Structure 1
C-alpha cells in the first residue's frame, strides 16, 4: 500500500488533480483503508482530499486551519487565495453557474431515473455521468456579450478567462469554455447554488452594472 499511496500523493501534489477513473484514484474512493491512509498522509502536511461524486477529478487543498498560515500575508487573502481580482472572481462565479448548475441537474436526474422502481432490488443502477456529454460548454462570445461589460470590458474579460484556464477552472477550446478539473471541486455547491438559484447573482450583476454606468456618466 505504501508505494501506491506515495505515488498517488506525489501525483496529486505535482499535477494538482487526478481523474477519478484513474486506478489509484478509484482505489482511494472504494478502498476504505487506502482512503484513510491517504487522508492521514495529506493531513500530516496540512492538506485535505477534494472529491465529490459529481466531479470528474479528485484533488487536494489546504485544510481550513492552514489557510491563514499559508495565505495570510498580502492583500489577496482579503478576498481569495487564488490571486484573482474581484472581476475575475465574478467571472468564475458566472462560469460556474452556467456550467455546473445545469450539469448537476442532468446528473441528479439520471440518478433519480435509475431509482424509479424502488421494489426492484436488482434493477440496473444508472451511474453518475461525467465529461463533456453532461457538462456542456459555453461560448466565449456569448458569455462576453451577456456579461463582458459588467465584468470589466474586453481586456479584463480575456485576461481573467486566461487566468481561470491557467488555474484549472476552465478549459478553452475553439472559443468555447468547458469545465476544468477544479471547477466542481474548489467551489462549494451546497453554499453557492442556493444563492444563485435564489437570485443573488442577478442582483449582484445588476448592482455592478449600475455602478459601472454611474461611473461612466460621472466621467
Structure 2
C-alpha cells in the first residue's frame, strides 16, 4: 500500500491530473485506509488531494498553511501564480461560470448534454460524467459578449492560449470546452451564489442584490503542481 500511495503522488506530480477511472485514483476515492495514508503523505509535504464528484479528473493542491510559505516571496501570489493579468483572471471566472455552472445543473438533473429533458426516470441514473454533460461555449459568442470588457480580441486570444496551455480549457474549432482543471480549482459552494446573483446577474437574468457581492481571493483554491497553478481572484 505504501508503494501505491507513493506511485500515485508521483504520477499526479508528473502529469498534473489523472482521470477518476484510473485504478489508483479509484482506490483513493473508495479505500478509506489507502486515502488516509495518501493524505498523511501529502500533508507532510504541505499538499492535499483534490477531487469532486462533478469533475472527471483529480489533482493536487497546496494546503492553506503552505501557500504563503511557497508563494510568499511573490507579490502577486494571492491573485494568481500563472502571471495572469486581471483580464485573464476575469476571463477564467467568466468561462467557469458559463461552462461549469450549467454543466453541474445537468449533472444534478442526471441529464446528458443531448438527452431528452422529459425523461421521467432520469433521477435513477448515476451522476453523469463531466465529458457527457459539459457543452462548452462559442468563441465568437464569448468575444461578442465580453471582448470589450476583457481586452478585446488580441488580449482575449492571448489569455485563452494561456488557459489552454495549463489545462483550464480546451479548444476545438470555434468551441471552448472544459479542461481537466476548470472544475477542480474553484470553490463552487462559495462562489456560485455570489456570481449568479452578483457579478454575472445580467447574464443569468437575475436581479442583483442590494449589496453587491464581492468574490474574495481566499474563496478560490490555490493549486500547485510541477508546472505551477493558479489562485485567481475575481476583482
TM-score, normalised to structure 2, is 0.78
Distance in 1 of aligned mates of 2:138 and 2:144: 10
Q: Does 1:142 align with 2:177?
A: no
Equivalent pairs counted in the alignment come to 194
Contact 1:170 1:180 in 2 (8 A): yes
1:19-98 alignment to 2 at 5 Å?
Answer: 19-98=19-98
Matching residue of 1:209: none
1:138-177 alignment to 2 at 5 Å?
Answer: 138-177=137-176
Contact 1:132 1:178 in 2 (8 A): no
What RMSD in Å do the two structures reach over aligned CA positions?
1.8
Q: Which runs of 5+ in 1 are unaligned?
A: 117-124, 204-219
Relative contact order (C-alpha < 8 Å, sep 6+): which is higher? Answer: 2
Give the deviation of 1:67 after TM superposition. 0.6
TM-score, normalised to structure 1, is 0.83
Distance in 1 of aligned mates of 2:103 and 2:25: 22
Give the deviation of 1:51 after TM superposition. 0.5
Q: Which runs of 5+ in 2 are unaligned?
A: 112-119, 203-235
Matching residue of 2:99: 99
Larger Rg: 1
Report Cα offsets for 1:75-132 as digits up to 9, x if no partner: 3224223321100010001100110000010111119x7796xxxxxxxx52111133
Give the deviation of 1:141 after TM superposition. 1.3
Structure-2 change in CA distance of 1:114 and 1:108 (3 Å)? farther
Distance in 2 of aligned mates of 1:78 and 1:39: 25
